[in-house]
Chain A
Amino acid sequence: MPALQPRDESAIRELIRKLVARELPPADSLPGDGQDLVKTGVIDSMGWVGILSGIEEATAIRNFGASWPEGRPQSIRALASAVHKGLGESKSRSGTVGSRGDASRDIAVSVAGWGYSLGARRLGAAEVEEECGLPAGTILGRAGIQSVSRAAGDETETSLGVRAAELALEKAELGPEDVDVLVATSATSLGFPSLAALLHSRLLVPESCAALDVGGACVGIIHAFAAAQGWLGGSRHRVALIVASEVNSRALARPGVPGEFRGLFGDGASAFVLRQTEDSAPAHFRWGDILSGCAGAHSSALSVIPGATGNLDVIFRGEQLATAAVSSLCQIVERLERLSGKSRTQVDCFALHEPNPRLVEIFAARAGIPMEKIPRIAQTAGNLGSVTCGVNLCAALSRLEEADPQSRERLIFTAAVAPGLLWAGAYLQQINHDKPIS
């Protein structure tokens, strides 16, 4: 059905008549447009609510009828007038109703909220080494991981994701009812309903909220940002919720997984609320361009393929992967410099995927980036897959929010690599219009 426009008076009236007719006993004829449906006993209060719900569903006018002033007649005419007004308000908020927005409008996408949750159990490096049959000192000495976060028995990708999402929504001062698009990513939640569908039901976001899953393993969170940014580019969707969630400890606890690979990983979730922002609006971090690609020459460094007997066939060439990952991260930073027009010295924080903490140190040394500009979750929680970059981005946003309120401009680079070798990066910028240029 084409989207209703405020001027489509006959279509509005027709929709309302149809919804009223459905509430009437089969033999009753449709009342006149001016007749009060409730006072004259044509329908009862349940029927009235049914009509309001139906209108809200059909027109996408939020909270239609939540406020019906005392004394206003409950008639088809009054409903039509309220729909007309509601559509007009939607249009003034978003350009046009139900179609792509005015191209001349300068819509930016900003981060309004963020949050993360880690598995409730914490295992020290020595426990991980024992569990994975590794020589003492492997996890801490070679990978730089002091401990990993593990999901407790009742924690799943969904429950961890819900907790992170609730924190992000709270930070954004929004509720689930405000979410228009939900984008989820996970390399470990492989069943159906998908993670996006599970989160959709669990969070009770509106049924009209889109739900989609994107892949990419460790770059999944940046792919999710790209997908959300695309959806928010139109006029119908204003708020997106992005959730990455991984329970690696269960997904990798299978025959065929080498201990030196399995031992690197932890469990957790990260979430972000993105929203449309008029370009003139100050304060929030805005998404700049997002880069993504695939360096297939390195695809043989890591492969994880489900076997026929429930096992995982893992090929993990650690040194080759490490070299390729560091090289790719350096290239992403160079590309982001060109794209943003800012040098790495101007960047306040780098939110990175951490294959392991040692690799990040090697990358930082090679790229000439001070370690204090790089939040590092993997030291204490392990490699969290797609969640790693998200948790580090949460830390970067919180750190910059708290520090130096006088700064006129702040900049974050984010970068990740994944099997394939997929790579992705983006920059976020905060311009504080209230502060003078120094």
Chain B
Amino acid sequence: MPELVLSDITVMGQGYCVIGLEKAAAEAYRSVRPMPPRAFAWREPFPFRRGDSVRFDPVPTTVSRPHVEDQQSRGLIHTRHSLSEQELVECLRRAEVSRNLSDLFGCPLQASDRGGRAFWVNPAEAKRSVCGCEYDNVRFRVFADPEGLSLRAEISLCSGERISSVPVVDREWRRFVARLVGRIQRVDPLPLLGRFLNRSIALKLLAAPSRFARIGLPRPKADQQCWLMLDSLFPQPNESWLDLL
């Protein structure tokens, strides 16, 4: 059975979309998206964490662009081995990476025509649905929305380009923000939350050697637009950061 190191666990509706790294050559990795037999997302209970090494039993899968990493499986089995965050990021740096926006998905990025600042790609043109990049700076925006809170990020790449307003679908960051909100005993927690994320937490991120982001694409809808998402943001939030509030 093939072995993967889980690199991305993202919130997808009520479930989780998962990506792992498979060894492609001596020093290189490639992304594989293991999926349950008849669905795109894994449901709770999903006991795995980023860095966990898993075995999986693949079954024949029909893939469509840009989700060329899809691989249906009969399930995931923990090998009892896990990588540290720093080890995982070193592996991610040897998987799909780009220094600039145009190489993220192998096709041009289209700017939103809605007056917002999000990017999308044409699924027929994209060559993959996930890619890593080093970042120089990050800022968060939190919006109130019907499901509670919507977390978005802006990222400045080492190339000097910026990715504006990407929804953060990283499971750990969403949980972290939800826990922060629980700690902020205010009628309107968002102003304090925004300041805290962009000052104390951003400083932690920018000081870390494991500064790395994985940008992903959702499955295309009828409009044939895949909007960029922030699948993973390293370093991952740390429990002790809650006490900085």
In the complex, whether A175 has a CB less than 8 A from a CB of chain B is yes
B191 touches A204 (CB 8 A): no
Q: Enumerate chain A residues within 8 angstroms of B145, measured Cβ to Cβ.
A: 38, 45, 48-49, 68
Q: Enumerate chain B residues within 8 angstroms of A39, measured Cβ to Cβ.
A: 146
Partner of B167, one of A46, A58, A198, A203: A46
Q: Enumerate chain B residues within 8 angstroms of A63, measured Cβ to Cβ.
A: 191, 194
Cα A23 to Cα B114 in complex, Å, equals 8
For the complex, would chain A's binding face be called helix, strand, loop or mixed by DSSP majority?
A: helix
A22 touches B114 (CB 8 A): yes
Cα A49 to Cα B112 in complex, Å, equals 13
Shortest CB–CB separation between residue A67 and chain B, in angstroms? 5
Contact residues, B126-145 vs A (CB, 8 A):
136-139, 141-145
In the complex, whether A331 has a CB less than 8 A from a CB of chain B is no
In the complex, whether B183 has a CB less than 8 A from a CB of chain A is no
Q: Enumerate chain A residues within 8 angstroms of B227, measured Cβ to Cβ.
A: 46
The stretch of B64-72, B84-92, B154-162 in contact with A is B154-162
In the complex, whether A146 has a CB less than 8 A from a CB of chain B is no
1/0 per position for A176-210, CB-CB distance to B under 8 A? 11000000000000000100011001111001000
In the complex, whether A138 has a CB less than 8 A from a CB of chain B is no
In the complex, whether A53 has a CB less than 8 A from a CB of chain B is yes
In the complex, whether B195 has a CB less than 8 A from a CB of chain A is yes
Shortest CB–CB separation between residue B187 and chain A, in angstroms? 8
Given known contacts A45-B150, A49-B152, A54 and B114 CB-to-CB distance under 8 angstroms: yes
Given known contacts A57-B116, A177-B139, A38 and B160 CB-to-CB distance under 8 angstroms: no
Cα A78 to Cα B41 in complex, Å, equals 35
Cα A57 to Cα B118 in complex, Å, equals 12
In the complex, whether B175 has a CB less than 8 A from a CB of chain A is no
A198 touches B160 (CB 8 A): yes
Given known contacts A45-B150, A207-B164, A50 and B143 CB-to-CB distance under 8 angstroms: no
Most chain A CB atoms below 10 A, which of B114, B139, B152, B161? B114
Q: Which 3 A-B pairs have the closest CB atoms?
A: A53-B116, A54-B115, A68-B144
* B residues in contact (CB < 8 Å) with A: 112-118, 136-139, 141-147, 150, 152, 154, 156, 160-162, 164-165, 167, 188, 190-191, 194-195, 198-199, 222-223, 227
Further pairs besides A50-B116, A52-B143, A175-B199: 9, Cβ < 8 Å: A25-B222, A48-B145, A50-B114, A54-B116, A66-B191, A201-B156, A204-B138, A204-B162, A207-B164
* A residues in contact (CB < 8 Å) with B: 19, 22-23, 25-26, 38-39, 45-46, 48-50, 52-55, 57-58, 63, 65-69, 74, 158, 162, 175-177, 193, 197-198, 201-204, 207
